[in-house]
């Protein structure tokens, strides 16, 4: 897809959007409606389903995890699975990231190039892991993203995933959000992600809500300002 130009001569950016655990691409698209509206002149978000299906009961409790997408009732996915049970964000032994990385690499080749990446919760962790894989040349068919926007992100507990993330230094500009009332991914865990991003290139912002992409005007305006700045940089770079 060719980016659409704007009247000012800039081009719209393309941003890969990765959903959180027990979500899917359509749910994430719906929950970012206000943000997408704020960013519509600056970028297009491209949403992608994770490959691991998570079975849930009528109360929303996880009852089975598997690696496929068989059946017609799939709705909930994850970027990896906790091998010993429990929430994947706390698991010290995760399974399935390599499969997810392969799917993401295929998406980059098929739908890219992408200028930036945006993720929520497990999707924010997956976004950072993808940036690290590109930086370490494990993924070679896509240049490093020009920026990252991460909501409620964290460094995985799994030591292999954590090392693959923390062993590289990412110089791309990044915007990190953490909720003051987030009981699932506390502020300290989101701050740990900053270790992989340069201090001068990173911005960390606390918002007053919980584990979500906050529905606050000041958040939308901050993200819009950040993306508009990246759009200007990308346009200038393309002209030089």
Given the residues 121, 127, 190, 202, the one annotated as active site? 121
| pLDDT the model gives residue 6 | 45
Diameter of the chain by CA atoms? Answer: 55
What is the Cα–Cα distance from 55 to 129, expressed in whole angstroms? 25
| pLDDT the model gives residue 55 | 79
| pLDDT the model gives residue 80 | 96
What are the respective helix, strand and coil percentages of the chain, to the nearest 5?
35, 20, 40
Q: Among candidates 14, 43, 40, which has minimal Cα distance to 142?
A: 14
What is the Cα–Cα distance from 40 to 23, expressed in whole angstroms? 23
* 13-49+112-239 maps to CATH 3.40.50.300: no
Give the tens place of pLDDT for each residue, 84-136.
777 888 888 889 999 999 999 999 999 989 999 999 999 999 999 999 999 99
| pLDDT the model gives residue 103 | 97
The answer for residues whose C-beta is within 8 angstroms of residue 57's C-beta and 6 or more apart is: 63
Given the residues 52, 142, 182, 190, the one annotated as active site? 182
Instruction: Locate the domains of the chain by residue range.
Output: 13-49+112-239
| pLDDT the model gives residue 118 | 98
User: Does the annotation mark 211 as catalytic?
Assistant: yes
| pLDDT the model gives residue 8 | 53
User: Residue 161, Cα to own-chain centre: how many angstroms?
Assistant: 15
| pLDDT the model gives residue 239 | 54
State which residues of the chain have pLDDT below 50.
1-7, 58, 63-73, 240
| pLDDT the model gives residue 9 | 64
The answer for residues whose C-beta is within 8 angstroms of residue 31's C-beta and 6 or more apart is: 23, 212, 213
| pLDDT the model gives residue 57 | 59
- Phi/psi at 38 (5° precision): -65, -30
User: Does the annotation mark 42 as catalytic?
Assistant: no
Evaluate whether 138 touches 129 at the Cβ level (below 8 Å): no
| pLDDT the model gives residue 137 | 94
Q: Among candidates 135, 139, 127, 130, which has minimal Cα distance to 175?
A: 127
Evaluate whether 75 touches 66 at the Cβ level (below 8 Å): no
| pLDDT the model gives residue 220 | 95
């Amino acid at each position: 897809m060719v980016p659409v130009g704007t009247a000012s001569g800039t081009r719209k950016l393309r941003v890969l959007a990765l959903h959180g655990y027990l979500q899917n691409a359509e749910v994430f698209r719906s929950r970012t409606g206000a943000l997408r509206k704020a960013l519509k002149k600056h970028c297009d978000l491209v949403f992608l389903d994770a490959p691991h299906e998570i079975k849930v009961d009528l109360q929303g409790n996880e009852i089975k995890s598997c690696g496929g997408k068989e059946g017609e009732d799939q709705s909930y996915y994850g970027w990896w699975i906790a091998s010993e049970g429990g929430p994947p964000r706390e698991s010290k032994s995760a399974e399935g990231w390599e499969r997810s990385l392969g799917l993401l690499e295929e998406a980059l080749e098929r739908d890219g190039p992408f200028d930036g990446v945006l993720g929520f919760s497990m999707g924010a962790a997956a976004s950072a892991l993808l940036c690290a894989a590109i930086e370490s040349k494990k993924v070679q068919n896509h240049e490093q993203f020009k920026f990252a926007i991460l909501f409620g992100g964290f460094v995985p507990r799994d030591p292999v995933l954590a090392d693959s993330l923390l062993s590289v230094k990412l110089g791309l500009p990044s915007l990190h959000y953490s909720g003051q009332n987030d009981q699932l991914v506390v502020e300290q865990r989101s701050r740990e992600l900053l270790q992989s991003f340069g201090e001068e290139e990173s911005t960390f912002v606390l918002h007053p809500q919980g584990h979500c992409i906050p529905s606050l005007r000041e958040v939308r305006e901050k993200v819009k300002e950040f993306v508009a700045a990246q759009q200007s940089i990308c346009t200038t770079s393309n002209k030089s």
